[in-house]
Structure 1
Amino acid sequence: MEEITLFQNVAEESEWQLVEHWVSRSNKLFLKKLSRNDTSWADDKGKHQAGIYIPRLIRESGYFPSLSARQDKPHIFQASCVTFWPQTGEHKNSGMRHYSNKGPETHLTVIPSELFKGLSPASWLIGGRLKEPVAEAMYWFIVIDSTSQDAEILETSLDIDSDFHHEIIEPSALLSARALDRDASAELIEQINAAVRQGTLHKLLASVATLPSPSKLAEEAQAAYFKTDKLGSLDPFQMDAPGDAVMRISRDHEYQIFKRYELRRRAVEVISALIQHSDLTTSVVRGFADLDRIFLSASQQRKTRAGRSFEYHLAALLKAGKVRFEEQAILGGRRPDFVLPDKRSIQQKNARDYNDAAILSAKTTLRERWKQVTHERFNCAIFLATVDDRVSTQALDEMQAADIALVVPESLKTSKEAAYSKHPNVISFRDFFQNEVKHKRPALLAVDIKRSS
C-alpha cells in the first residue's frame, strides 16, 4: 500500500513520470488509441459492455493470458487478469472475455470507470506486462487524454504515425529517445566534435541557425510522399483519399524531415551554450537561461510549422485540382486561409448565388479556435479542414449549429477512434472536392468538370 500511495502522489504532479516508472518495470508494453466503444460505456452505462476492446492480433500475440473455453458455455473464452491502475491506486480482478459467436474481439472487463469518463476522442491506453508482480497484478494500465501534454509527449517519444491504432512495443522504445537515423546522428556527433576541437563551432552554428522555410519543408515532404507512394500529383479528383494523403504528408513525412533539421540546429545551440563554462555542472546552472530559451523556441517553432505546413499542402491540393482560390484575403477584419474563387467574388455577396463562392479555413488542431471561423459570413458555405481526430461531439454539434462543415481525412471520417462517422456536418476531403466543388460549385474549377472522377 505504501507504494500505491507514493505513486498516487506522483500522478498528481505528472502522469508522465508515472508512465516512465511503470514502463521501467515492464518487459512488454501495449499501446492502444481508444475507440468510442472503448470509452462510451463509462459515460452511458448499460449502453455498451463495460470494458475495452482487445484486438485479435493482440489477443493472439501472447501478451495477455491465454483464453480457455467455459465448460457450461463453450462459445465463451475467458481468462482472469489481475490489473493495477496507478492513477487510482486500484487493483482490479479484471477478466478477458471473448464471445466466439459475436466476432473476433475480446473485452478486458472490470476496470476503473472513472478513468474513462469524459475522455476526448482518440485518447490513449498504455499498459505493461510486469517483470515482477505487484500484489498479484502482472499488468498495469494508464489512461492518457488525447488533449493533454502527456499525450503530446507520448506521440513525440514514439514517433507515432497518423494511421496508428494499436501495437505491442518494447519498453526501450519509450524510455530512450528514438533515433531519427542512426547514421545521420553519428555523422552529426562527429561534425560537432570536430568543430569543437577546431574552434569552429560558431561557423557550424551559423550554417544551421536557419531552418528551411515552411514552403521548402512542404516541398520536401510532398516529394518524399510521391517517392513512397509512386505518385506524381496531388490532384484531388484523381485520388481515392486526398485527405489521407495530406495527413500523411504533413503529420508523417514532413515531421520526420523537420526533426532532422531541428536536431542539427538545436544540438549545436545546446553545445554552444554549455561549452562556455569549465565543467558540466557550471554549464547547466549558469547556462540554464540559455537552455530554457532554446527549448522554448523549439516548442514554439514546432507549433508554427505544423499549422503553416498544413495550409501549404491544402493549397497544393487546390492547385493540382485546378480549383480557383485566393490565399489570406482580408475580409471584414478576418483573414480566412482560402477564399474560393477570389476575394472580389466573396465581397459581391448580393450579386451572386450562394454556391458561387466558398470559404475554406485550415487548422491542424481545432480546440476552441474553430469559433474564429463563425465570423466569416459572406453568403456562402464555410468549410473548415483539419487532420485533428480529437474533436469532441459537443464541438461538432456547435459547429453544425453554426452551419460550418468540417472537412477531415477519409480514414478519420470512418474511424472508430474519432467522433466523426455519424455527424452529417463532417465530410471527407474526397466529398469536399467531388461533391461540394465539382458537383455543387463547378464555377470554382478552372477546367472542364467532366473529366473522370
Structure 2
Amino acid sequence: MENDLCLSAVDAVLRAESSFCKFLSANDSGETGGHQSGILISMTAAETCFSKEEIWNNHIMKRQINIIWQNDFSTESVLTWYESKKEIRITRFGRGFPFRGPEYTGALFVLTRADQDNYRGFIFNTEEEINEFLDTFGLTPAETNCPVRLSQSFSENREQKVIEQYIRSLDVDFPTSEEMSAAARRIFQQISTESCSPVQNPDKILLDWTNEEYSLFQAIEQERYGKEITDGFSSMESFVSLANKVLNRRKSRAGKSLEHHLSCIFDENQIQYSAQAITEKKKKPDFIFPSVEAYHDMTFSIDKICTLAAKTTCKDRWRQILNEADRLKDDTKYLCTLQQSISGNQMDEMQSEKVVLVVPEPYIRTYPADHRDRIWTLKHFVEYIRELEAS
C-alpha cells in the first residue's frame, strides 16, 4: 500500500471499536446550501455513534466528540440523534473546515471510533485513494454507507500486502532467522485485529507468531525461487542444488524460530534468563533461569535455577535434554514444544526422567486425555519462573 494516509485509515479501522464509510452527498458537503448542516450517518452504523439504549431512551441525544482528521488536526464536533427524523448527524466542524464545498461531493468519508469520546476521520477525494481503501477491505461502492466489516478475505489480503511490502524492503536474499522472527512479530502486530499480548496470553501469541513466520517464510521462498522452479531446471545437478539450499534453510529456520519467540515472550514478561549459554564442556541448554552466571555460582541455591529446552517437535529428540546441565541432573527438566500429541507410553517415559512438557494451551487437547494433567501451559511456566525469581 503506497498511500500513507490510506494506510493510516486502514490501521484506524483495524484498531477501532467500530467504523463507517460513505460517499459524501451534496447535503453533506454543503453544496446544496440546505438548512441541514453536517454529515448524515446511516442508521445501519448507529452503533458507531450511540448505544442501542441511548437511541431507545432519548428523543434527541447529543454527544460532544473529538475527531482527528487526516492525522493532521482535530475538531470538537457533536453527534446528534433525532428520533423524529430517525437520523444521526455530525455537526460543528468549526470555521475554516477544509472539507466543505462542492469539490468534496462524492468524496469517501471514513469515520472510526476509538472510544465513546474519540474518533478519527478521513476524507479521500481522488479515485486512486478511494479505490485503494475500498479494495483493501474488498468493498464495492455499493457496499458503503454502512459499517466497515472485516472479513476473512480482507485479513488474508491485508496480510499479503504487508508481507509484500516487507519483502520489497529487503536488501538481502534471506533475512537471518532472528530478523525473520522479529519481522513476523511486527507483521502480526500490524495486521492483527485482536487484543492479545505475551503477558496476557503467551500460549496464543506464540502460535500466532510461529504461524505468521511460516507464512512470511513461504512468501519469501516463492518470491526468490518461484520463477526458477516454474521455468524448470537445465540439469539434475541444478535441481538438487536448489532443493538442498531450500531444505537446509527450512531446517535452520524451524529450529531457531521457537527459541526467538520464546525469548521475546520472556522479555515481555520481564523474566531474567540466559539463552544458549554453556553449562559444562559443550552443553548448551536453550534457556537457563535466572542466568548462566547464577548456574556457575556454587553458592547460588540450586532450587532457584531452572532450564527450558525448546524443540518444535520432541517425539524422538526429547532425551537430548536430559544431560544439558550437570547441576540439575536430578531435578525437573522442562521442554517447550509445538508437537501435537505423543503417545501415553512416551509421556510415561518422560515422567520417569523428570521431564515436564510445556505446550501451548490449544494443543494440549491433542494429547492423551489421561495424561494431560502432567502438561504445563506456557502461561503456567512463565508464572512459575516469575515466582521462582521473586523468591
TM-score, normalisation: structure 1: 0.45
CA distance in 1, matches of 2:256, 2:193: 23
Q: Count residues in correspondence.
A: 224
CA distance in 1, matches of 2:337, 2:158: 33
> Does the C-alpha gap of structure 1 residues 287 and 315 become closer, same or farther in structure 2, counting only changes over 3 Å?
same
Match of 1:245 among 205, 214, 220: 205
Determine helix, strand or coil for the equivalent of 1:304: helix
> Residue 399 of structure 1 aligns with which residue?
350
CA distance in 1, matches of 2:353, 2:361: 23
Mapping for residues 381-400 of structure 1, pairs under 5 Å: 381-400=332-351
Structure 2 contact 277–292 (Cα < 8 Å) conserved: yes
Indicate whether 1:428 and 2:377 are aligned.
yes
Determine helix, strand or coil for the equivalent of 1:351: coil
CA distance in 2, matches of 1:257, 1:335: 29
> Residue 369 of structure 1 aligns with which residue?
317
Structure 1 contact 338–360 (Cα < 8 Å) conserved: yes
Mapping for residues 38-437 of structure 1, pairs under 5 Å: 210-227=173-190, 228-231=192-195, 233-235=197-199, 239=200, 241-250=201-210, 252-270=211-229, 284=233, 286-332=234-280, 333-348=282-297, 350-376=298-324, 377-379=326-328, 381-413=332-364, 415=365, 417-419=366-368, 422-434=371-383, 436-437=384-385
Unaligned 5+ runs, structure 1: 1-179, 189-206, 275-282, 444-453
CA distance in 2, matches of 1:221, 1:385: 20
Mapping for residues 21-40 of structure 1, pairs under 5 Å: none
Q: Give per-residue Cα distances to partners, 1:365-406, cap 9 Å, x unaligned.
A: 112211110002423542111111132222211111111111
CA distance in 2, matches of 1:339, 1:359: 5
Structure 1 contact 420–426 (Cα < 8 Å) conserved: no
Structure 1 contact 355–381 (Cα < 8 Å) conserved: no
Distance apart, 1:212 and its partner CA? 1.5
Structure 2 contact 258–312 (Cα < 8 Å) conserved: yes
Determine helix, strand or coil for the equivalent of 1:390: coil
CA distance in 1, matches of 2:157, 2:243: 21
Structure 1 contact 270–294 (Cα < 8 Å) conserved: no
Q: Give per-residue Cα distances to partners, 1:29-56, cap 9 Å, x unaligned.
A: xxxxxxxxxxxxxxxxxxxxxxxxxxxx
Structure 1 contact 336–359 (Cα < 8 Å) conserved: yes
Q: Give per-residue Cα distances to partners, 1:54-80, cap 9 Å, x unaligned.
A: xxxxxxxxxxxxxxxxxxxxxxxxxxx
Q: Give per-residue Cα distances to partners, 1:234-260, cap 9 Å, x unaligned.
A: 23xxx1x3122202210x211111111
Q: Which amino acid in the other structure matches residue 373 of structure 1?
A: I
Unaligned 5+ runs, structure 2: 1-155, 165-169
Structure 2 contact 184–216 (Cα < 8 Å) conserved: yes
Structure 2 contact 309–321 (Cα < 8 Å) conserved: yes
CA distance in 1, matches of 2:307, 2:229: 43
Note the aligned Cα RMSD (angstroms).
2.9
Q: Give per-residue Cα distances to partners, 1:109-146, cap 9 Å, x unaligned.
A: xxxxxxxxxxxxxxxxxxxxxxxxxxxxxxxxxxxxxx
Distance apart, 1:410 and its partner CA? 0.9
Q: Which amino acid in the other structure matches residue 363 of structure 1?
A: K
CA distance in 2, matches of 1:302, 1:181: 25
CA distance in 2, matches of 1:442, 1:368: 35
CA distance in 2, matches of 1:223, 1:209: 19
Distance apart, 1:181 and its partner CA? 7.3
CA distance in 2, matches of 1:382, 1:183: 38
Structure 2 contact 197–205 (Cα < 8 Å) conserved: no
CA distance in 2, matches of 1:254, 1:430: 21
> Does the C-alpha gap of structure 1 residues 355 and 442 become closer, same or farther in structure 2, counting only changes over 3 Å?
farther
> Does the C-alpha gap of structure 1 residues 229 and 342 become closer, same or farther in structure 2, counting only changes over 3 Å?
farther
CA distance in 2, matches of 1:336, 1:309: 16
Structure 1 contact 347–378 (Cα < 8 Å) conserved: no
Q: Give per-residue Cα distances to partners, 1:165-192, cap 9 Å, x unaligned.
A: xxxxxxxxxxxxxxx979979xx9xxxx
Query: Computing the radius of gyration over CA atoms, which structure comes out larger, 1 or 2?
Result: 2
> Does the C-alpha gap of structure 1 residues 214 and 404 become closer, same or farther in structure 2, counting only changes over 3 Å?
same
Task: Give the share of equivalent positions with the same residue, in percent.
Answer: 22
Distance apart, 1:304 and its partner CA? 1.6
Q: Which amino acid in the other structure matches residue 329 of structure 1?
A: A
Higher RCO structure, 1 or 2 (CA under 8 Å, sep 6+): 1
